Chains A and B, each alone.
Chain A
Amino acid sequence: MSEVSFIFDHKVYKGYKGEPLAAALLRNGLLSITNSTYHNRPRSVIGLGVEEPNAIVQLTSGTQESMLPATVIEVEDGLAACSLTGVGSLPEMPDEARYDKTNHYVDVLVIGAGLAGLKAADEHLRAGREVLLVDDQPEPGGHVRHLGLELSSAMQDVLKHKNLTYLRSCTAIGLYDQNYIVAVERRNGQQKKSLQNKTALIRVWHIRADHAVLAPGAFQRPLIFANNDRPGIMLSHSAATYVAKYAVNIFKTAVIVTVDNQGYRDALRLHNAGVKVHGIFDARSEASGKSVDAVKAAGIPVQYRATVLDTTSNEEGILQSIIMQELDTNKTFQVQADLLAISGGWTPIVDLATHIGIKPQWSEEHAAFIVCRSSDKLTTVGMLAGDFGSDDKPAVFFGPTLDAEQARYAYIDLQRDATLHDLSRAVGAGLSSIEHIKRYTTIGTAHDQGKTSGMLTIGALCQLSAVAKDGIQNLSPADIGTLSFRPPYIPVSFAVLAGRERGLLSDPIRITALHQLHVDAGAVFEDVGQWKRPWYFPKPGESMNDAVRRECIAARNTVAVMDASTLGKIDIQGPDAAIFLDRIYTNMFSNLPAGQCRYGLMCKADGIVFDDGVTTRLGENHFLMTTTTGGAARVLAWLEEWLQTEWPDLKVYCTSVTEHISTIALVGPKSRQLLRELVTDIDLSKDAFPFMHSKTATIDNIPVRIARISFSGELAFEINIEWGYARHIWERLWTLGRSYDLTAYGTETMHVLRAEKGYVIMGQDTDGTQTPYDLNMSWIVSKKKEFIGKRSFQLSYLNSKGRPQLVGLLPEKENEVIPEGAYITVLDAQADEFGKTSHIGFVTSSYYSPALSRAFALALIAGGLNRMGEVVAVPVGEKVLQASICDAIFIDKENIRRD
């Protein structure tokens, strides 16, 4: 291994490339790495991997990622990190590293490359299956690797098999229905490369496997005793691994406290590495096995029925001595040591299994929750399935009995600083469910999600219940059950999950054929669904209000033009197309002659208005439907649903043509005059080309379809052109329009113009609870035919008096534009007996109208259609505005202007 320099808390240290940062810090004598979040107590590394609750650091180089356990960061040249006290901070600059995702389909996925996982992989490979092996460690072998042993050559061969893909440093973070697994692969050592060359730093794997093998292994767990958080106290497996494998030589004397034979194995490793082991204190009354014999042969003293009760520290809070207790006599004695290695038993990693709802079973024999599964879809093996691979008989023991004072510093969740005292309080408050206790004490809610504290909580709860007078009594872990774990198994940053779908790539952007012309014209855009639509076209120095006012005046007084290409367009053909539309729309379409257009409204079966638009009959069996910009996909899906699932006998075909046809709306009293200069092959006069008619024509030999449709009440022509020709037509209009002072307008002006005319926008003036009657559109509801939603109009609740109805609103002060969404109440004079003025509705659309020279609004008001002339209150911030209810049509009620 090559020696490199890294920086921690602004100081330079030496470490070996590829080793865990935690090992390098320990070797450099940094026992106390950070202070705890709430109690401000010094803390050191206790674990080996993602279970680490204490040594959480922030990178200050590369991606500057926060809240990473020092146990999983690999040392590399130039690495810089700093300690954290429980709370990370986001870097100021964006994460510039590259993150990728990939999909993978495989016969068998094996999670965990320990011995059990490798053995399972071998069996599936022998059966001729393809295997994907993911493992969260940088090297295969699981505990074997920690023990510093080499993998057998048979296992090495498994890894080299041509049908096996092995992903190192790849953590399965979620197991979902039907063997869908998400895993994140950390490509360590790529920090610099990723930032410079955009190679992926982390890759997210979306895996679908015919069969999944869970071989995640287990975490060693600590014990609960007073002052169990001091630097110098570690899990025995971690301590022995750091000392024996990573040459951490800062410990001179060690004490082992154990409940199983793992403590003996670790004692031997420490002893063999030159640490003086004072003794092994085993909570059991006897122990046997190879490791026990080996310990005895090495001359390490063993004391049964003894455990740790408390510890003392030096001035820096670092472990100094250990107070032991004989469990049968309660006699205490003190031992000096600088390492207290704890082996509290194994906690198999049940997380992934619980993601899909599997309930782990308590096994008294293993002193652990295990999951035994063997189905055609999912198999559990290794420690998770109770195969602890030794002759061990661990004790069900979580710590000695503590008094109230000791319990205050007996930590269960180190990261949350939650103690046995906190747990007692939760139980004292009457909580007995582990899920409630978790939320009350915050145990298991930190960054590590209780990987070391979950089982301790269950154990401590059992101990408390053994002495409880009432409520919970004599619980066993089987009665309590484990917590439900949810994905992700380890924290994953948003940048990783987003992958390349950031910024411009986060959502598709849809633009019209005229988009660049609008950009060149200085348009300000607004997002309508995924579409970019010009909002308004400010001239230099103009505010939005100035621009909109100018655009409105042009449309009402001369001529203005708008890109309406985003309107949803559905081509409907077939011998039954007319019958179909009769069933979909509330009004009749079968009697519409070819070459004419009609406005239509569609409802869902519950009678609620859902979308609207103008549909043109192009021929006997051919219609072109338009929908709202945002509703296009929804409407097409709706049409298909009825055709496929209710009316398969209808011969009708629906095709989305939104992006095939561009629509340019030419609006204003001079629009006909301007258009005549461009269109010479048809008569545009009012008698030859009446309102709501549609004709084909040519412009510069380009076929166009022109319709007399108006969304403003003004004389207007909608020109439909094939998408590719739109730019030419628009540019021609502009050249000819110069002498007319042709003005481009955007969606804001469109909204003002349509609101002046009382035209509704679905989703703005409706909130998903309005019938056509609520919108004062009874004229559009056919009495002669059946259509979707008709039956619902007979239901009493759609006919009740107080239903919100669409009305106009004139603010008392002519220049006061009421904010959209503002609540409407009755006046103070109509307050009820308690002095309350009741809420009767809200403002849906509100603008300043240049044509009316005043502000106006549309609103949904309870029983509004019968409240014409009533003055209402509109509280806005500290002020209460007043407005009077009026008809929703403000301009040209007689429909004179459109001709």
Chain B
Amino acid sequence: MLHIPCPHCGLRNETEFHYGAEAGVAYPDPNAITDSEWAKYLHIRSNPKGWHAERWVHFAGCGRWFNLWRNTITHEIGPVYLPFTTQPKSPDNL
């Protein structure tokens, strides 16, 4: 069970959160892209082995969405950041 630092409420158990897939996938302008680009937006995510920027929502707490870096091998949690703020560097590059 992950221990997730909600930027608004502090450290909480994973059971209070929902996972929201990869962070930083921009919603494209639907009318400016091809079918295959749209399909890529819908279905293709990076799924790395190692550090991964992802979205979480503290649904059983403050209800707010936020982003964090998580290592998919060790489950270590890296920097946490709010939506519409600059994504911190991957802990690999620190």
A795 touches B64 (CB 8 A): no
- When chains A and B are docked, how far (Å) is the Cα of A796 from the Cα of B36? 10
B42 touches A605 (CB 8 A): yes
The minimal Cβ–Cβ distance linking B67 to chain A, given in whole angstroms, is 9
What 0/1 readout, one digit per residue, does chain B (33-51) give for beta carbons within 8 Å of chain A?
0010011011100000000
A180 at the interface (CB under 8 A from B): yes
Contact of A646 among B27, B39, B74, B77 (CB under 8 A): B27
A645 touches B1 (CB 8 A): no
- When chains A and B are docked, how far (Å) is the Cα of A312 from the Cα of B55? 66
A480-514 residues with Cβ-Cβ distance < 8 A to B are: none
Contact of B55 among A208, A605, A645, A786 (CB under 8 A): A645
Contact of B2 among A178, A606, A637 (CB under 8 A): A178
Contacts of A176 in B (CB 8 A): 1
A648 at the interface (CB under 8 A from B): yes
What 0/1 readout, one digit per residue, does chain B (46-89) give for beta carbons within 8 Å of chain A?
00000000010101000111000000001101000001100000
B91 at the interface (CB under 8 A from A): no
A174-188 residues with Cβ-Cβ distance < 8 A to B are: 176-180
Contact of B83 among A180, A648, A791 (CB under 8 A): A648
A644 touches B64 (CB 8 A): yes
B57 touches A791 (CB 8 A): no
A794 at the interface (CB under 8 A from B): yes
B35 touches A795 (CB 8 A): yes
A641 touches B65 (CB 8 A): yes
- When chains A and B are docked, how far (Å) is the Cα of A795 from the Cα of B34? 10
A245-299 residues with Cβ-Cβ distance < 8 A to B are: none
B38 touches A792 (CB 8 A): yes
The minimal Cβ–Cβ distance linking A38 to chain B, given in whole angstroms, is 38
Q: With A606-B42, A786-B30 given, is the CB distance from A637 to B3 under 8 Å? A: no
Contact of A792 among B27, B42, B83 (CB under 8 A): B42
Least CB separation from B74: chain A residue: A357
A659 at the interface (CB under 8 A from B): no
- When chains A and B are docked, how far (Å) is the Cα of A180 from the Cα of B55? 22
A347-388 residues with Cβ-Cβ distance < 8 A to B are: 357
- When chains A and B are docked, how far (Å) is the Cα of A645 from the Cα of B67? 10
B83 touches A644 (CB 8 A): yes
Question: Which among B3, B30, B41, B55 has the greatest number of chain A C-beta atoms within 10 A?
Answer: B30
- Is chain A's binding surface mostly helix, strand, loop or mixed? helix
Contact of A637 among B1, B57, B74 (CB under 8 A): B57
A640 at the interface (CB under 8 A from B): yes
The number of chain B residues touching the other chain, given as a range, is 20 to 34
A641 touches B20 (CB 8 A): yes
Contacts of A792 in B (CB 8 A): 38, 42
- When chains A and B are docked, how far (Å) is the Cα of A790 from the Cα of B55? 24
- When chains A and B are docked, how far (Å) is the Cα of A575 from the Cα of B63? 22
Interface size counted on chain A using CB atoms at 8 A: 23
Contact of A795 among B3, B18, B39 (CB under 8 A): B39
- When chains A and B are docked, how far (Å) is the Cα of A409 from the Cα of B19? 52
B3 touches A178 (CB 8 A): yes
A645 touches B42 (CB 8 A): no
- When chains A and B are docked, how far (Å) is the Cα of A689 from the Cα of B21? 47
Contacts of B27 in A (CB 8 A): 646
- When chains A and B are docked, how far (Å) is the Cα of A790 from the Cα of B27? 13
Contacts of A646 in B (CB 8 A): 27
Contacts of B38 in A (CB 8 A): 791-792, 794-795
Contacts of A605 in B (CB 8 A): 41-42
Least CB separation from A791: chain B residue: B30
Q: With A644-B83, A646-B27, A795-B35 given, is the CB distance from A208 to B3 under 8 Å? A: yes
B3 touches A180 (CB 8 A): yes
A178 touches B75 (CB 8 A): yes
- When chains A and B are docked, how far (Å) is the Cα of A641 from the Cα of B56? 10
Contacts of A177 in B (CB 8 A): 1-3, 75
A592-617 residues with Cβ-Cβ distance < 8 A to B are: 605-606
The minimal Cβ–Cβ distance linking B4 to chain A, given in whole angstroms, is 9
The minimal Cβ–Cβ distance linking A869 to chain B, given in whole angstroms, is 35
Contacts of B18 in A (CB 8 A): 637
- When chains A and B are docked, how far (Å) is the Cα of A791 from the Cα of B33? 10
Least CB separation from A604: chain B residue: B42
Question: Which among A177, A208, A641, A792 has the greatest number of chain B C-beta atoms within 10 A?
Answer: A177
Least CB separation from B42: chain A residue: A606
- When chains A and B are docked, how far (Å) is the Cα of A624 from the Cα of B21? 30
B65 touches A644 (CB 8 A): yes
Q: With A177-B75, A637-B57, A792-B42 given, is the CB distance from A645 to B3 under 8 Å? A: no
Contacts of A790 in B (CB 8 A): 30
Contacts of B30 in A (CB 8 A): 786, 790-791
Least CB separation from A795: chain B residue: B35
A641 touches B57 (CB 8 A): yes
Contacts of A645 in B (CB 8 A): 20, 55, 65, 83
Name 24 A/B residue pairs within 8 A (Cβ), A-sorted. Answer: A176-B1, A177-B2, A177-B3, A178-B3, A180-B1, A180-B3, A208-B13, A357-B74, A605-B42, A606-B42, A637-B18, A641-B57, A641-B65, A644-B65, A645-B65, A645-B83, A648-B84, A790-B30, A791-B30, A791-B31, A794-B35, A794-B38, A795-B39, A796-B35
Q: Which 10 A-B pairs have the closest CB atoms?
A: A791-B30, A177-B75, A178-B3, A644-B65, A180-B1, A645-B65, A645-B83, A606-B42, A176-B1, A791-B38
Interface residues of A (CB under 8 A from B): 176-180, 208, 357, 605-606, 637, 640-641, 644-646, 648, 786, 790-792, 794-796
Interface residues of B (CB under 8 A from A): 1-3, 13, 18, 20, 27, 30-31, 35, 38-39, 41-43, 55, 57, 59, 63-65, 74-75, 77, 83-84
Apart from A180-B3, A644-B65, A790-B30, what 15 extra A-B contacts exist at CB < 8 Å? A177-B1, A177-B3, A178-B3, A178-B75, A179-B3, A605-B41, A605-B42, A606-B42, A640-B57, A641-B65, A644-B83, A645-B55, A645-B83, A792-B38, A792-B42
